[in-house]
Amino acid sequence: MSEHFDSLQQYLHGLGLLSETPLLYFALLVSLFALLLTIRGQRQNKEEIRALTSAVERLSEQSSAGQVVAGDVSTSATKESDVKKKPDSGQAHGTSDVNSGLAKTRNQFFSRLSELFGGKSALDAASLEKLEELLITSDLGVNTARMLLGRLRERVDADKELSASDVRGLLKESVLEIVRSEDSVAIRPEKRDGKPLVVLVVGVNGVGKTTTIGKLAAQFKAEGANVLIAACDTFRAAAVQQMQVWGKRVDVPVEAGPEGCKPSTVAFTATKRALDENVDVLIVDTAGRLHTRVNLMNELLSVIKVIDREIPGAPHETLLVLDASTGQNALQQAREFHEKTDLSGIAVTKLDGTPKGGIVVAIREELGVPIRYIGVGEGVDDLKVFDSDDFVEALFAEGKSGSSATNGPQKVQRKRPRARANH
């Protein structure tokens, strides 16, 4: 029977189906193989089918937690050693720093800025219109772009011309003024008034909300906090299971309700458990809802009311997770969620995979909501506390490698982020 499996695998491999996303097509392979066995009436091989199905389930869990990447998977995939791991990128434990995480944004913007000068030694008034387009298309937003352009125009009017270095320096200074905030600090994982700190995490589907919660829980636990996760996303299929996978990965318990129960019910039981077990931090996951879905937004408000009834004043933190790659749509999401939930901070994910990192600046400028965390990689340690100085230095670093040229703007005196004080 193994020859049937191997033949089927070779056939799909020949079609190129096992070369790009092997986990998906391994699942397809197992399904086809199981169907083949059923058709042939070979009921005595149920154990082999169960073993292969179990392998798919384990691989799916590992994939959800960011542990599985492309690689060949065969009938021996039930062994953990047969799952190929990601190559070491040179960063300890797969950690990416902010500098490399912003490489795509930096390289696209400044390569286009160089083209704008087109060999000219200085930027003249005729080039300012093109610069405005560049700023807007870099997802800084219309309002932010015009504000920055206004400052540059003042200098052009006064000095008649600006060199590329002058433009870079002025933009860097202005962006730093926008993103710098005393509120852009880590959430301190400590009780509030003797009761659990409640962190409500909101956002639409696909932004990395579950992953962000898992990484936050790991950070809080590393600081010595007793953490509990409430899996209130009962709307999306497999969302609770994915949250449980992350809970196991970072060794944090997850409170979940029966299938089909209301999110507010899970919020209630989780809040009671947090109080009974003397938990320091309760992180509440919520359904990934579109900000345009009124009924789902109202459901979110119901969750908030339940939490506040059990722990007055909670949730103490409401963190919105945004996907940087969605650009201006992320800004619109932030507006809508801020109106409904009074956000205390934003986590911007997937900055390492997009040239649209300018959205961080637009959100801070237009909404005034502090950026608390940024995601610059897949590792547990790649959720970084937002440091405005580090961010701007990485965004404006000279060269693709991220190292500043000797004649570039001097690094701003930095102050490390402080943990946000409890109230």
pLDDT for position 121 = 67
Q: What is the pLDDT of residue 99?
A: 79
Q: Which pLDDT belongs to residue 231?
A: 95
DSSP 68-101: --S----TTTTSGGGSPPPPP-SSGGG---HHHH
Residues 6+ apart with CB under 8 A from 121: 161, 163
Measured distance CA(164)–CA(156) in Å, rounded: 12
CB-based contacts of 47, cutoff 8 Å, min separation 6: none
Which residues touch 137 (CB under 8 Å, ≥6 apart)? none
Q: Is 180 left (phi over 0), alpha (psi -120 to 50) or beta?
A: beta
Q: Return d(Cα 71, Cα 57) in angstroms, integer.
A: 17
Q: Quick one: pLDDT at residue 134? A: 82
Q: Which amino acid is at 410?
A: Q
Burial label, 98 (beta-carbon count in 10 A; 0-12, 13-18, 19+): buried
Angle CA(204)–CA(227)–CA(380) in degrees, nearest 5? 60
Which residue bears the tokens 């990965």?
249
| Closest by CA position to 300, among listed 342, 269, 328, 258 | 342
Whether the CB-CB separation of 270 and 230 falls below 8 Å is answered with yes
Per-residue tens of pLDDT for the chain, all 423 residues: 444 444 444 444 444 444 444 444 455 555 555 555 444 444 434 444 444 444 444 444 444 444 433 333 333 332 333 323 333 333 333 345 787 878 888 877 777 777 776 666 677 666 777 888 888 777 787 888 888 888 888 877 776 677 778 888 888 898 899 888 776 688 999 999 999 999 999 998 889 999 999 999 999 999 999 999 999 998 887 889 999 999 999 999 999 998 778 999 999 999 999 999 999 999 999 987 665 677 777 888 899 999 999 999 999 999 999 999 888 889 888 988 888 888 999 999 998 888 788 889 989 988 889 999 999 888 889 999 999 998 888 888 765 443 333 333 344 444 444 444 444
pLDDT at 80: 32
Runs of H (alpha helix) within 235-367: 239-250, 263-276, 294-310, 328-341, 359-367
